[in-house]
């Protein structure tokens, strides 16, 4: 919040949010995994951070490409555009990076990180928690748990700016329930039903994949209405942005917490507006991840009680 406030002051209120939200999600996940920040300010071990960022950007670019051999096996031996060669190089570099990370934590077993807990499990179940499995878990969390949450938060901010009555109601409820000297914390989430409704409605309208707008399932499916999720109105099987059953996303709980805390903090700390005073364009990319065509730039002005809230 301090970084957003500083950037806002330096740019007459204008803030480009996509990069900041992405930095936030990566730092949260990597702090959980390895106790390190690789993005934004106060970065530890800059050389490793720069290498990690570069590899994550490469993975994001690969996600946009299609290898013809995956669709037509007869073409699998044709490395069109050098896709396979580039992917093998990236995989090798990432494997070396993650192996160094594991060895670093193996040498310091007192850290309270996910990598350390996985290494502890390796001692009791070595046949399952191999280094390869641990590296795979780290990678899938870093790749699947960051850009998805960042994209969802960007859509949520757009939806609130295009539905000001919802934004104002959320602000009023947060002020009433949390006061103006207390920044939202994880233990507050369970009582913030309207904010949770906003998150659920945002995921219904703009999930990772384009779905959940069936008019036979949802009343008024194209409009943003958090109220549909209040008081247990929506059955669990109807809203499934994370999938259902054994193949559902294991990061659902983390994603909900991350989005709720981030969105709640922004609502508490700032008054929002669009740059030109008009509705935000909601055009989306045609890609693997359902994200906006253009990065989100908004006007954030610090609320009078900001210093009390974040102190």
Q: Which residues are annotated as a binding site for heme?
A: 249
CA dist 301 and 9 (Å) reads 8
138, exposed or middle or buried, with CB in 10 Å at 0-12, 13-18, 19+? buried
CA dist 289 and 86 (Å) reads 21
**297: β partners:** 16
Which residue pairs from 246-254 have beta carbons closer than 8 angstroms and sit at least 24 positions apart in sequence? Answer: 249/144, 251/141, 251/144, 251/145, 254/145
CA dist 136 and 133 (Å) reads 5
Only one residue has tokens 């409704």, namely: 197
Annotated binding site: which residue ranges?
249
């Amino acid at each position: 919040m301090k970084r957003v406030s500083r950037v806002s002051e330096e740019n007459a209120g204008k803030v480009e949010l996509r990069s900041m939200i992405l930095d936030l999600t990566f730092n949260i996940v990597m702090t959980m995994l390895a106790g390190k920040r690789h993005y934004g300010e106060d970065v530890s071990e800059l050389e490793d951070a720069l290498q990690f960022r570069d590899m994550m950007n490469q993975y994001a670019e690969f996600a946009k490409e299609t290898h013809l051999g995956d669709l037509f096996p007869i073409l699998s031996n044709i490395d069109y555009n050098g896709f396979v060669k580039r992917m093998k190089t990236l995989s090798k570099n990432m494997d070396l990076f993650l192996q160094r990370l594991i060895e670093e934590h193996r040498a310091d077993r007192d850290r309270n990180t996910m990598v350390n807990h996985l290494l502890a499990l390796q001692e009791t179940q070595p046949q399952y928690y191999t280094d390869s499995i641990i590296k795979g878990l780290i990678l899938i969390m870093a790749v699947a748990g960051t850009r998805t949450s960042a994209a969802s938060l960007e859509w949520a901010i757009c939806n609130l700016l295009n539905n000001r009555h919802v934004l104002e109601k959320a602000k009023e409820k947060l002020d009433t329930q949390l006061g103006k000297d207390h920044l939202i914390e994880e233990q507050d989430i369970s009582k913030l039903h309207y904010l949770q409704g906003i998150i659920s409605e945002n995921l219904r309208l703009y999930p990772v994949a384009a779905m959940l707008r069936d008019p036979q399932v949802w009343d008024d499916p194209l409009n943003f209405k958090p109220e549909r999720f209040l008081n247990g109105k929506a059955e669990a099987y109807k809203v499934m942005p994370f999938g259902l059953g054994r193949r559902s996303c294991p990061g659902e709980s983390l994603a909900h917490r991350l989005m709720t805390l981030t969105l709640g903090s922004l609502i508490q700390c700032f008054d929002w507006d669009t740059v030109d005073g008009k509705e935000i364009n909601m055009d989306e990319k045609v890609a693997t991840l359902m994200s906006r065509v253009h990065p989100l730039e908004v006007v954030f002005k610090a609320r009078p009680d900001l210093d009390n809230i974040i102190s």
